[in-house]
Amino acid sequence: MIKNSEMRHNAVVAHERLIMVELALCCYKSDRGHAPTNLEQLVPNYLSRLPQDPFNGQPLIYRDLSTNWLVYSVGPGGIDQGGKPGGARFGNGNLLYDSAW
């Protein structure tokens, strides 16, 4: 029961952090006309610090896809699956925010 509660809590935290980074990325792109090459470029003008992935304590993962970007958490499984979305059950895939901006 506690483990499931912790996983759900971490999933909510991850989603909040993904949205925060997504908003910072949109502001950066709006100001500069292009996406950053890495998340470090968002600090300190758009984020005070890089948010950590609650599942592994590392920064969230960012991929610049030239026309848009992909930001994701390793998710409960703790494995970087390249942004493969998770299934309905915890542990399958990554938690992500895929921008079509």
**Does residue 48 have a pLDDT over 90?**
yes
- Rounded CA separation 73/48 (Å): 19
- Closest Cα partner for 10 from 56, 59, 64? 56
Q: Residues 31-53: what's their mean pLDDT? A: 96
Band of residue 94 on the pLDDT scale cut at 50, 70, 90: confident
**What topology does CATH give the domain 2-98?**
Glycoprotein, Type 4 Pilin (3.30.700)
Q: Is the pLDDT of residue 13 over 50?
A: yes
Cβ-based burial of 48 (10 A; exposed 0-12, middle 13-18, buried ≥19): exposed
| Residues above pLDDT 70, as percent of the chain | 86
Examine the pLDDT at 95 and tell me if it is beyond 90. no
The rounded distance, in Å, linking the Cα atoms of 42 and 83 is 21
pTM for this predicted structure: 0.84
Tell me how long the chain is: 101
Give yes or no for a contact between 60 and 72, defined as CB atoms under 8 angstroms apart.
Answer: yes
